[in-house]
A = this chain, B = another copy of it.
Amino acid sequence: MADSEALPSLAGDPVAVEALLQAVFGVVVDEAIQKGTSASQKVCEWKEPEELKQLLDLELRSQGESQEQILERCRAVIRYSVKTGHPRFFNQLFSGLDPHALAGRIITESLNTSQYTYEIAPVFVLMEEEVLRKLRALVGWSSGDGIFCPGGSISNMYAINLARYQRYPDCKQRGLRTLPPLALFTSKECHYSIQKGAAFLGLGTDSVRVVKADERGKMVPEDLERQIGMAEAEGAVPFLVSATSGTTVLGAFDPLEAIADVCQRHGLWLHVDAAWGGSVLLSQTHRHLLDGIQRADSVAWNPHKLLAAGLQCSALLLQDTSNLLKRCHGSQASYLFQQDKFYDVALDTGDKVVQCGRRVDCLKLWLMWKAQGDQGLERRIDQAFALARYLVEEIKKREGLELVMEPEFLNVCFWFVPPSLRGKQERPDYHERLSKVAPVLKERMVKEGSMMIGYQPHGTRGNFFRVVVANPALTCADMDFLLNELERLGQDL
């Protein structure tokens, strides 16, 4: 027979539970939130993998540990982690630490429910609906559908799956074998998830036709038209175009009106991957970059990027009002989506997704939005654009910094030309040597912990830095710091 007492795991001891969580929260506030966002602290405490393994003592053993040991482990985990909320973390398309969003995330974790039925997620079913409605309104739609997905890659896959299902509803049951070869179109600047999605969904990467981009990284609508013709001539059936609003490297916005015209002429589903750029819709000043987005069939938009809602917060928005999402993905599991419930089972939104359990991703965004209002969020976007402009002007003023191009968004791409290469553009090995500079500087900045900036090659261009200006806590002083620091780190090169 079972013991009548709860286990000695704190689970039955509210005082001990509270003491533990208060202590951990104290560590989090001190180490992750205060120090983690302070410019006077390191953005990371770099360790080689083998040393870090030793420091963390990762092995899981038979015996449990004391509370004191556990707290020390919490400190170590934070100490050696990268501080993505730090004002010198420019490495990814997300950064910053919004306190209201974090508050929403802590509440989400404490409630630990799954977003599939109204029964166990009443607040979040209604809240998700409202947040999606708000995002759709910003796209320009007064009705529609949508869902939060575990990341923009899966949002993009959903769009592809929905487009093929709308055209060939049979494929849900019968698969792709009976269909003609399908073709989808995206630019060479698109996110790699389009290729991954095509492979995962059984279409194969060959089904992705790569459309030319201009020198700014924008899809060329004339080439899209040409590629559609070519695919048809080869016997393939075009079904979807994926345009990008805010490409990953250059931050380019595809010309949506012209692309929508092409889609309309050919009867193609228009998906807009606005994972990065979607949040610009909040800015009256800059939302023209997405003109035409209201003509899309689906939009992927990640508020965890520019809005700093926290990983992950990825909305897929649909113009559809025919319940396509549920028809495409649903399977009516009778143990979860019982039809004889005592409330409106249309509120059980879990059958719209290919997941079963699904995290609550709406609260963090909702709470931040309630605290900031549209106006507060708009100021953030405008401020980020202004800071990126400041950075660009500073780059132009300084010797040894060369812009890849004038950015239209928050990706500021440039080369650091070290003293030994300045004025040597004519040397045959100039580009080869310049390409080796960014990896060296990256190693130095990470090992010192002073800042983090991503770099990459791009087409025929060798490695250059991509500074992402997104953290809402940034100031001009942080922009000045990053340029000064690059000069300091690279002065001997």
Cβ A439 vs Cβ B70 within 8 A: no
Interface string of A43-60 (1 = CB under 8 A from B): 010111100110010111
A202/B173 contact (C-beta < 8 A), A374-B61, A386-B2 known: no
CB neighbours (8 Å) of A126 from chain B are: 49, 52-53, 56, 58
Cβ B304 vs Cβ A357 within 8 A: yes
- How big is the A interface, by class? 35 or more
CB neighbours (8 Å) of A161 from chain B are: 200
> How far apart are the CA atoms of A73 and B81 in the complex, in Å?
32
Cβ A154 vs Cβ B367 within 8 A: no
CB neighbours (8 Å) of A312 from chain B are: 357, 359
A73/B114 contact (C-beta < 8 A), A60-B131, A197-B354, A331-B195 known: no
Shortest distance in angstroms between A148's beta carbon and chain B's nearest beta carbon?
11
A231 in the interface, Cβ–Cβ < 8 Å?
A: no
Cβ B150 vs Cβ A359 within 8 A: yes
Stretch of A98-106, A139-147, A318-326, A396-404 that contacts chain B: A98-106
Interface string of A369-394 (1 = CB under 8 A from B): 11111111001100100110110000
Cβ A335 vs Cβ B249 within 8 A: yes
> How far apart are the CA atoms of A335 and B338 in the complex, in Å?
46
Determine the residue in chain B with the shortest Cβ distance to A120.
B82
**A–B complex contacts, Cβ < 8 Å, 6 sampled:** A21-B106, A58-B366, A64-B371, A201-B201, A338-B457, A340-B436
A456/B91 contact (C-beta < 8 A), A64-B371, A110-B28 known: no
A residues 1-41 in Cβ contact with B at 8 Å: 1-12, 14, 17-18, 20-22, 24-25, 28-29, 32-34, 36-38
Our pick among B53, B173, B193 for the contact of A206 (Cβ within 8 Å) is: B173
- What is the total number of copies of this protein in its complex? 2
Stretch of A216-224, A254-262, A415-423, A469-477 that contacts chain B: A469-477
CB neighbours (8 Å) of A120 from chain B are: 82, 84, 91-92, 452
A431 in the interface, Cβ–Cβ < 8 Å?
A: no
Cβ A99 vs Cβ B356 within 8 A: no
CB neighbours (8 Å) of A176 from chain B are: 175-177, 202-204
Determine the residue in chain B with the shortest Cβ distance to A459.
B334
CB neighbours (8 Å) of A69 from chain B are: 370
Which of A356, A386, A476 neighbours the largest number of chain B CB atoms within 10 Å of its CB? A356
